[in-house]
Structure 1
Amino acid sequence: AIDHEKVKLIPYNELESVESFKQGGFGQISKAIWKKLNDSVICKRLTNTTNIKHDLLNAFIHELKIHLRLDYSERIVRCLGISIDQKTNDHFLIMQYANDGDLQNYLKENFEKLTWDDKKKLAFQIAEGLNYLHNENVLHRDLVTFKEYCYS
C-alpha cells in the first residue's frame, strides 16, 4: 500500500511550460516549471489511466513506492509528488530536475572537459548512489540513465 501521507498532490495548474523530451517506460517524460517553486521539474506521465494496461499502472505505482522509500539520500533525485490532469486523466510523477540530464548525455557533453579527479569523483558518486539503492533492495536496471536519478 502507498503511504498517502507521504505523497504530495501537486495541482496540475501549478505546472507550466510542460514540454515532452523523451519516451519513458510507462509514458512521456517532460520538463515543466512548477510555479510554486519557480523551478524546473520532471514530469513522468502515465497516459489516460481509465484505459491503461494493468502492467503500466503497476509500474507507475511501483516507481512511486520506490521513490517514497528512497527519499533520504542526497544522491537520488526526489519524487516531489504526483499530479493529475483532470482534462485527460493523465497522472504524473513530479520529480526533481537534474540539470545535467542522464549519465550518457552528461558524459557525451563533458567527457573531454573532465579531469581525472572529476572522473574519479563522478565514479564515486555513482557508486554511492548504487550502493544506497542496493542497500534499499532496489536494482537500477539502466545505468545509461543513472545520472537522471543522481543529484549532485
Structure 2
Amino acid sequence: MCLGDISARSQDQMILNLQGCDIPIHESQDFKDFSEIGTGGYASVYTAHWKITKTKLAIKQFFESSTKEIKEIIINEIHLMEIMRKKVIFHPNIIKFYGITKLKDEINYAMILEYADGGTLGKYLRDNAESFKWENQLKFANDIASAILWLHDNDIIHRDLHPNNILIHQHSIKLADFGCNASSIQLEILKGTREMPVSATNRIFVNLYKECWEHEPEERPDIDQVILRLNSIPKSHFDSKENEESEIIDELDLSDCDVQLYY
C-alpha cells in the first residue's frame, strides 16, 4: 500500500504521490451532474453521476488551504478506506470507497464515495422525531454495532463516531468519515462527564450504554457482548406509546449534530 507523502513545495497544497499505488484513479470527465450538498471544516461534498453506469455518488473534495494536520487526516482517511475497499467481503453498513479523482482546475484529490440518500443520523433524528419507532432504533443500533465489530475484526478503529459521521441509506446505517478523532469533549469525558439518560428510554438500552461509558476499559462490554445483548432484547420491550417516543427525541442532546453536512 502506497499513499505517498505531502509535497513540501507548498504549505497550502496537498499533493499525494500516487506513483506505484493501486488506489483506483478516475478522470473527472467520467462524472456528470455535479451539485454541492455541503461544506465542512476541510472539505466540500458534491453529488455526481457516473456517466457509464449512471450511479449516483458522493465526491468529497478537500480544500487546498488545509493545514498540515488536516492533510495528515485526509491521507489517513484515504488509507483506511482503501484498506477496506480491498477486503473480499465488504460490510454493508460501511460507506463504500470507489477511488479518487482530481476535479477540473483543482490541485487536491477528491474521494469518490457511495452516496447515502438519507443524510446523517443526526438529521434523521430531527426529521423523524414522530415516526422513529423503537424497532427502527434497535435496527440502527444493531447496524452500528455490526459495522464496528467488522472494523475491529479487521484491526480498524473509527475513533470519531458521532451522528454526523453515521449516514442513512435505504433505511440502513452507513459508517463514514474515517479520518480522525476530532471530538472537542475528550478531556471532559476523561474527567467523568457523561450525558444524562433520556427519560422513557428502554431500560435495557440505558443499562447497556451506561456500561459502555465506564471509565476503565475492562469494565466495558466489548462489541461482541454489545451485539449479543442487543439481539437478546425481547420485542415486547419496544411496545412504547407514541408520545413517549416523541419525548425521547425531544430530549436528545443534539449539540454534536449541528453541522448539516454529511460525508
Q: Normalization by structure 2: what TM-score?
A: 0.51
Structure 1 residue 131, shift from structure 2 partner = 2.7
Tell me the residue number matched to 2:107: 89
**Pairing of 1:1-150 with structure 2 (within 5 A):** 1-2=2-3, 4-5=21-22, 7-48=23-64, 53-71=67-85, 72-135=90-153, 136-148=155-167, 150=173
Q: Residue 98 and residue 140 in structure 1: after superposition, are their counterparts in 2 closer, same or farther (change >3 A)?
A: farther
Greater relative contact order (Cα < 8 A, sep 6+): 1
Q: Residue 29 and residue 17 in structure 1: after superposition, are their counterparts in 2 closer, same or farther (change >3 A)?
A: same
Tell me if the contact between 1:26 and 1:59 (Cα under 8 Å) persists in the aligned partners.
no
CA distance in 2, matches of 1:111, 1:10: 40
Report Cα offsets for 1:103-137 as digits up to 9, x if no partner.
11122222422332122111111111223334433
92-101 or 132-141, larger mean C-alpha shift = 132-141
State the percentage of identical aligned residues. Answer: 18
Q: Normalization by structure 1: what TM-score?
A: 0.83
Structure 1 runs, 4 residues or longer, greater than 6 Å off: none
Tell me if the contact between 1:47 and 1:91 (Cα under 8 Å) persists in the aligned partners.
no
Letter in 1 for 2:83: R
Structure 1 residue 46, shift from structure 2 partner = 1.7
107-116 or 91-100, larger mean C-alpha shift = 107-116
Corresponding pairs, count: 149
Structure 1 residue 65, shift from structure 2 partner = 0.6
CA distance in 1, matches of 2:159, 2:50: 27
Report Cα offsets for 1:7-40 as digits up to 9, x if no partner.
1111111222222222234221222222222121
CA distance in 2, matches of 1:70, 1:130: 13
Report Cα offsets for 1:34-87 as digits up to 9, x if no partner.
222212111111233xx6533232221110011112232111001111001242
Per residue, is there more strand in 1 or in 2?
A: 1
Tell me if the contact between 2:24 and 2:100 (Cα under 8 Å) persists in the aligned partners.
yes
Q: Residue 140 and residue 35 in structure 1: after superposition, are their counterparts in 2 closer, same or farther (change >3 A)?
A: farther
**Structure 2: which 5+ runs fail to align?**
4-19, 176-263
Tell me the residue number matched to 2:174: 151
Question: Between Structure 1 and Structure 2, whose CA radius of gyration is higher?
Answer: 2
CA distance in 2, matches of 1:78, 1:94: 9
